[in-house]
Structure 1
Amino acid sequence: METGKTTRYFKYAIGEIILVVIGILIALQINNWNVNRMNTKEENTMLLALKKEISENQLLLKNEVERHTKAFNLLSELTSYISPQPKEINDVKLDSLIFAVGWLPRYSPNEGVINSLISSGKISLIKNDGLSSKISSWNSLLDEYNTTYKWTERDVFELLAYIKDKYPFRRTLKNFDIETVRNSEFKFSKEDLLSDLGFESLLANRIIDAQDVLNSSEKMYSFQKEILELIEKELEN
C-alpha cells in the first residue's frame, strides 16, 4: 500500500471508530434518559398511592389518638376516687369510669402500599433519601405501637379478672353502645371496690401503659405527618 493511501485509510478508520463510539454514547444517554423518565413516572405513581394510603391512615389514627386520650383521662380520674376512705361518687359516674378499664382503642392501619414498596425493593426508586429512610422505619414504629397496645391488653385482662367478683361489669355495657341489654341486678359495694389496694395497684399499672400507648400513637401521628409532607414536596418537584 502506498504511504499516502495508508495514512488516509487510518484516518478514515479512526474517524469511523470515533463515530461508532459517539453513536454508542448517544444511544446509552438516550437509554438512560428513558430509564430515568420511566423510573420518575413509576416513583410518582408510587408516591401518589402512598400519599392516599397514609392520608387515610392519618384520619384513622387521629380518631384513635383522641380515644386513647379519653381512655387515659377516664382512668386517671378513676384512680382519684380510690383511697382508704373513698369520696362519694354516683353510680352513673362510676360506671362510666370503670368502662375505661376495659376500653381498648387500637390503630389498625392499611399497609398494602407501604409493605409492597418495602418488600419489592422499589423503595430504591424514591430519590429523597429522607423519605425512603422514613418509609423503611414504618414497621419498627408500628411494632412499637403494637407492643404498647399488648401491654395495655394484658393490664385489662388482669384488672377484669381482679374485679369480676367486686363489680358487675355488665353495668358498663351502655357505654359500649349496647343499650338493649338491661343493667345488672347484682349488688356491689362501691366503698369496698374503691378502698381496695390491689385494685389501686393494678389500675396504676394500667394508667402507666395507657400513657405509653397514647405517647406511641402520638409519635406515630407525627411520623405519618412528616412522611406526607415529604411526599408532597416530592410531587411538587
Structure 2
Amino acid sequence: MIRFFRKIRLESLSLGKTKKYLQYALGEIILVVIGILIAIQINEWNQNRIEKKQYAIILQNLEDEFNQTKTLLTTLTSHYTSGIQASSKLMHQFGSDQKIYSVPQIDTLLALSMQQPPFYPPQPVLAELMNSGKLKSLSNKELKQHLFDWEANVRWLHFDYDLFISFSNDQFQPYINKKWSWKNIDLAEGNEFHDARSTLLDTDIYGIFQELEFENLIDSNLFHSNRLYKRLVNIGILIDNILKQIEVSLQD
C-alpha cells in the first residue's frame, strides 16, 4: 500500500500536480504511522502475554513452595501437640502421693515434653520475590498483604523459639543433668546405643515431683511449647489464606 502511494505521489510530482502530491504524501505518512502503532500494539501484546505467563509460573512455584511448607508445619505442630500433652501429664504427678506414671513412662513424657523442632522452611521463590522487589508488583492485593504478613509471623515465631531454646539450655536441661538420667530418656526415645537403664538414679525417684523447682520448670516448658504451638496454628491459617489467593490469581 505504501509503495502504491509512493508511485502515485511521484507521478503527481512529475506532472506538476503539487496538491495531489501532498495528499498522497500525507496518506503515505499516515500509513507509516498506523503501521508503527500497530507494531507497537503487537509488541505490547506479546510482552503482556510473556509477562502473564511468567507471572503464572511464579505463582505455581509459590503454590508448590507453600504446600511443602504446609506439610512441614503439620509435622511440627504434631510434635508440639505431643510435647504439650506430655508436660500436662507430668504436671498431674506433682504433689501426688500416688505413682500415677511408671518411671519408664516418665522417661517417655520427659522426652516428648522437650521436643523443640525448629521451623525453617526452604522458600527460595518467596525470597526471590522479596529480594528482587517483584512482590510489590503482584496484582492481587490480598496475596501481597498475606506475603508481607508471612515474614512478620515467621519472625515472631523465631523470636519465641529462641526464648524456648534459651530456657531449655540455661534452666531445664541443667536441672535434668542433676536430677534425672539422659540415658533413660534416650532409651525412651528408641535410641539403640544403650542396652540398659541407668542404675545411678536416687532410690526415691518420685521425690523429684515434690520439688517446687521442677514443677516450675515443667510449667515453664509447657508455657513455651504452648506459645509456639499457637504461633504455628496462626501460621497455618496464613498459609491457607495465601494458597487461596494464589488460586484466585491463577484463575484470573
- Normalising TM by the smaller chain, what interval? 0.7 to 0.9
Which has the larger Rg? Answer: 2
Name the counterpart of 1:34. Answer: 46
Q: What letter corresponds to residue 192 of structure 2 in structure 1? A: E
Residue number in structure 2 paired with 1:183: 197
Gaps of 5+ in 1: none
Which region of structure 1 is more displaced relative to structure 2, 6-15 or 138-147?
6-15
Identify the structure with bigger relative contact order (alpha carbons < 8 Å, sequence gap 6+). Answer: 1
Mapped contact 2:84–2:113 kept (Cα < 8 A)? no
Match of 1:214 among 194, 208, 229: 229
CA distance in 2, matches of 1:28, 1:133: 34
1:50 Cα deviation from its structure 2 partner: 1.3
Name the stretch that deviates more: 124-133 or 51-60: 124-133
Q: Deviations over 1:12-54 (max 9, x none)?
A: 5655554454444333322221221111110111111111121
Confirm whether residue 62 of structure 1 aligns to residue 77 of structure 2.
no
CA, structure 1 residues 168+70, in 2 after alignment: closer, same or farther (shift >3 Å)? same
Q: For residues 125 and 37 of structure 1, what CA distance do their matches in structure 2 show? A: 16
The corresponding residue for 2:99 is: 88
2:120 is paired with a residue of what secondary structure? Answer: coil
Corresponding letter in the other structure for 1:166: K
Please give the alpha-carbon distance, in whole angstroms, between the structure 1 residues aligned to 2:143 and 2:193: 49
Check conservation: 2:104, 2:188, Cα contact below 8 A: no
**Pairing of 1:165-184 with structure 2 (within 5 A):** 165-181=178-194, 182-184=196-198
How many correspondences in the alignment?
234
Q: Distance in 2 between matches of 1:101 and 1:227?
A: 31
Confirm or deny: 8 A CA contact 1:168 1:184 kept in the other structure: yes
Counterpart of 1:127 in structure 2 is: 139
Superposed CA offset, 1:94-152 (max 9, x none): 11122134321222311111111211223345321211222233322211221221122
Give the deviation of 1:159 after TM superposition: 0.8
Gaps of 5+ in 2: 1-16
Please show how residues 93-132 of structure 1 align to structure 2 within 5 Å: 93-132=105-144
Q: Per-residue deviation at 1:215?
A: 0.6
Spell out, residue by residue over 1:159-192, the C-alpha distance to the aligned partner (whole angstroms, 9 max, x if none). 1112321111221112332034132121223332
Aligned structure 1 segments of 4 or more residues deviating by more than 3 angstroms: 5-25
| Paired position in structure 1 for 2:13 | none
| Alpha carbons of structure 1 residues 38 and 125: separation in structure 2 relative to 1, 3 Å | farther
- 3-state SS of 1:66 partner: helix
2:196 counterpart of 1:164: no
Q: CA RMSD in A?
A: 2.4
The Cα offsets for residues 49-94 of structure 1, whole Å up to 9 and x where unpaired, read as 11112111211111111111111111111112112x4531311221
TM-score (normalised: structure 1): 0.87
* Alignment correspondent of 1:43: 55
